Chains A and B, each alone.
Chain A
Amino acid sequence: MRITQGTFSFLPDLTDAEIRAQIEYALDQGWAIGVEYTDDPHPRNFYWEMWGNPMFDLRDAAGAMGEVLACRKAHGNAYIRVNAFDSSRGFETTRLSFIVNRPAEEPGFLLKRHEVAGRQIQYTIESYAAARAPEGRRYE
């Protein structure tokens, strides 16, 4: 399967030039770029590991792109995303978030059904990768 989190997951994987163009757009808006990675892509895992703090003072797409490449070198078989943070009033949140690296194989998720009274089912989504190995060894 292909996890479709992020702004551009239905498109073919972005090339480095395309990633850089999106970073340039975000910087033009005055947003700060942050790079994050994880090997636990559960849809409610909101806190991926930060590849350093968001780069508030970096206004140069090449620099941000360098961090993407460095993160990819260190965590080539993890999910990596680029986030853009907007500090302006009324937003103060992420404005753009897209995946820039994926594991070679994405096993996806098991939907667990716990049947309770009255035909109700309590659902749990479990990542196959997270279930089979501890953090750091899930996509080896």
Chain B
Amino acid sequence: MGSQAERYKSGVMPYAQMGYWDEHYSPKDTDLIAVFRITPQDGVDPIEAAAAVAGESSTATWTVVWTDRLTACELYRAKAYRVDPVPGAAGQYFSYIAYDLDLFEEGSIANLTASIIGNVFGFKPLKALRLEDMRIPVAYLKTFQGPATGIVVERERLDKFGRPLLGATTKPKLGLSSKNYGRVVYEALRGGLDFVKDDENINSQPFMHWRDRFLYCMEAVNKAAASTGEIKGHYLNVTAATMEDMYERADFAKQLGSCIVMIDLVIGYTAIQSMAKWARRNDMILHLHRAGHGSYTRQKTHGVSFRVIAKWMRMAGVDHIHAGTVVGKLEGDPNVIKGIYSICRDNFTKKNLEHGVFFDQDWAGLRKLMPVASGGIHAGQMHQLISYLGEDVVLQFGGGTIGHPDGIQAGATANRVALEAMIKARNEGRDIWNEGPQILAAAARWCSPLRAALDTWKDVTFNYQSTDTADFVPTATPA
């Protein structure tokens, strides 16, 4: 590059030459690594674009500044070190960028994201930018609390093992009075669900104020627990305008004996971390509804992939996260969903490009995050749900419970019977993927609510092309 004097001469210099590109750089174990999908403007060299992203997400500005020379600037410069064309997508590149650990404040998602996604997405030389994945070093993970409760402790508290948990979101999601709302909660829990859930936009509206809702819901939860002998819960959504309001609502939920509260992703990373600490302090399970994520996760060329959001949320410390159903009404390619579920639940997530996972990730003992499958699923898909999603998951059948022709209790019972019959058959060694419909039909012979559910929804599927898919497909290797 020439002399230091030349490097720091006033003026504009390509980012790559400023030190933000180093093809020989070998990332340290303590580096954060981000892989971005960059779509440079026509005529912009992809390497320069990658270097610009590295620069703008670390120390650089648009021109040379002499004040760099007062710092250990080479350390603080993020380094783009690898740029690969995206398979099958002309004009798009995966660029790998390494960041030194000292660039980040310990235990702060806000600080991490202010760097990584802070400025760069509006950068003019790029047509589009997407953060695809990140490798978080163990040293940094150890500065985060992680899930307040985690899958293992949640199951032990609830005394529920060996099967997915079952939930439902109260419907209609807006408009019910508190007393009518609690009725739905009671019926669903009594019928066999483990949890019922407030929806993302149920906070404290004119038709139902939060205190009233909490009181009626806890009557429903306790009454259902007494009538079944099981521990039950309702995710009381404490999302509100300010932290003070959220703490007030969460404290009230605790005072009423709720085992779980809920927040929405839209409250922001700092508020989420605050609530995760509150949940750990107060022995509360913390459910996160990913409200808003689709606005930046779904399109492949822009935004932040959901697998990255899932990583951040495991670090931030929530216990439940909506992570896709594959078969339901919302976006979810099977391979991408597998990748997201492994990020939530593994001790060590292995690199798997077919699942969209770019890096090995050691989770450093952080507790496991329970994925939640919700949106357009029903009892007739039970074999597919268990095959795709496994056992440590909350399956939420909202319409599939409340819309049952014989009532909410019958809807809940249908789902629970379908679930238990399928788990039992799987454990007995049966091939549930192929025999699922027969297993359900056999259970429906003695369980009329299940029979009615299967009759009502047997033909409902949501077969649309996925938007967010993995870019790598398996290729046959020569024998």
Does B159 count as interface, using CB distance less than 8 angstroms?
Answer: yes
Bits for A63-94, please: 1 = Cβ < 8 Å to B, else 0: 00000000000000000000110000111111
Among B323-364, those with CB < 8 Å from A are 346-347
Does A119 count as interface, using CB distance less than 8 angstroms?
Answer: yes
Bits for A5-18, please: 1 = Cβ < 8 Å to B, else 0: 10111111000001
Among B217-231, those with CB < 8 Å from A are 218-219, 222-223, 225-231
CB distance from B238 to the nearest CB of A (A): 17
Q: Which residues of B contact A12 (CB under 8 A)?
A: 446
Does A44 count as interface, using CB distance less than 8 angstroms?
Answer: yes
A44 — nearest CB in chain B belongs to which residue? B231
Q: B-side binding surface: helix, strand, loop or mixed?
A: helix
Tier of interface size on chain B = 35 or more
Chain A CB within 10 Å, residue with most, of B226, B255, B421, B446: B226
Chain A CB within 10 Å, residue with most, of B161, B225, B429: B161
> A7–B219 contact, CB under 8 A?
no
> A4–B347 contact, CB under 8 A?
no
Does A30 count as interface, using CB distance less than 8 angstroms?
Answer: no
Q: Which residues of B contact A98 (CB under 8 A)?
A: 162
Bits for B37-66, please: 1 = Cβ < 8 Å to A, else 0: 000000000000000000000000000000
Q: Within the complex, which residue of A8, A94, A96 is in contact with B156, where a contact is CB–CB below 8 Å?
A: A94
| Assembly CA distance A121 to B258 (angstroms) | 12
Once A90-B347, A111-B222, A120-B256 are accepted as A-B contacts, the answer to whether A7 and B229 lie under 8 Å apart by CB is: no
> A11–B230 contact, CB under 8 A?
no
Does B257 count as interface, using CB distance less than 8 angstroms?
Answer: yes
> A4–B229 contact, CB under 8 A?
yes
Q: Which residues of A contact B159 (CB under 8 A)?
A: 5, 43-44, 46, 97
> B229–A11 contact, CB under 8 A?
no
Once A11-B421, A97-B161, A125-B222 are accepted as A-B contacts, the answer to whether A43 and B229 lie under 8 Å apart by CB is: yes
Bits for B414-442, please: 1 = Cβ < 8 Å to A, else 0: 00110011011001110000000000000
> B162–A90 contact, CB under 8 A?
no
> A7–B257 contact, CB under 8 A?
no
> A8–B420 contact, CB under 8 A?
yes
CB distance from B15 to the nearest CB of A (A): 41
Once A25-B429, A95-B162 are accepted as A-B contacts, the answer to whether A125 and B257 lie under 8 Å apart by CB is: no
Does B413 count as interface, using CB distance less than 8 angstroms?
Answer: yes
CB distance from B389 to the nearest CB of A (A): 17
| Assembly CA distance A90 to B152 (angstroms) | 8
Q: Within the complex, which residue of A4, A90, A122 is in contact with B192, where a contact is CB–CB below 8 Å?
A: A4
Bits for A102-140, please: 1 = Cβ < 8 Å to B, else 0: 000000111100000001111101000000000000000
Q: Which residues of B contact A122 (CB under 8 A)?
A: 257
Does A55 count as interface, using CB distance less than 8 angstroms?
Answer: no
Does A41 count as interface, using CB distance less than 8 angstroms?
Answer: yes
Q: Within the complex, which residue of A1, A10, A25 is in contact with B413, where a contact is CB–CB below 8 Å?
A: A10
Once A10-B416, A11-B421 are accepted as A-B contacts, the answer to whether A92 and B152 lie under 8 Å apart by CB is: yes
| Assembly CA distance A122 to B254 (angstroms) | 12
Q: Within the complex, which residue of A10, A22, A41, A93 is in contact with B427, where a contact is CB–CB below 8 Å?
A: A22
> A3–B229 contact, CB under 8 A?
yes
Q: Which residues of A contact B346 (CB under 8 A)?
A: 90
| Assembly CA distance A121 to B182 (angstroms) | 15
Q: Which residues of A contact B257 (CB under 8 A)?
A: 122-123
> B229–A94 contact, CB under 8 A?
no
Does A62 count as interface, using CB distance less than 8 angstroms?
Answer: no
Q: Within the complex, which residue of A5, A7, A46 is in contact with B163, where a contact is CB–CB below 8 Å?
A: A7
> B155–A94 contact, CB under 8 A?
yes
Q: Which residues of B contact A21 (CB under 8 A)?
A: 427-429
Once A4-B229, A96-B162 are accepted as A-B contacts, the answer to whether A25 and B222 lie under 8 Å apart by CB is: no
Chain A CB within 10 Å, residue with most, of B155, B256, B424, B428: B424
Does B215 count as interface, using CB distance less than 8 angstroms?
Answer: yes
| Assembly CA distance A68 to B215 (angstroms) | 43
A126 — nearest CB in chain B belongs to which residue? B226
A-B contact pairs, 5 of them (CB 8 A): A11-B424, A89-B347, A97-B162, A111-B227, A123-B218
Other A-B pairs beyond A25-B428, A44-B159, A111-B223, 18, CB < 8 Å: A4-B229, A7-B161, A7-B423, A8-B424, A11-B420, A11-B421, A11-B424, A12-B446, A43-B230, A44-B231, A93-B161, A94-B156, A95-B162, A96-B162, A96-B427, A97-B161, A123-B218, A125-B226
Please give the residue numbers on chain A whose beta carbons come within 8 Å of chain B beta carbons, in ascending order.
Answer: 1, 3-5, 7-12, 18, 21-22, 25, 41-44, 46, 83-84, 89-98, 108-111, 119-123, 125
Please give the residue numbers on chain B whose beta carbons come within 8 Å of chain A beta carbons, in ascending order.
Answer: 152, 155-156, 159, 161-163, 192, 215, 218-219, 222-223, 225-231, 255-257, 346-347, 368, 413, 416-417, 420-421, 423-424, 427-429, 443, 446
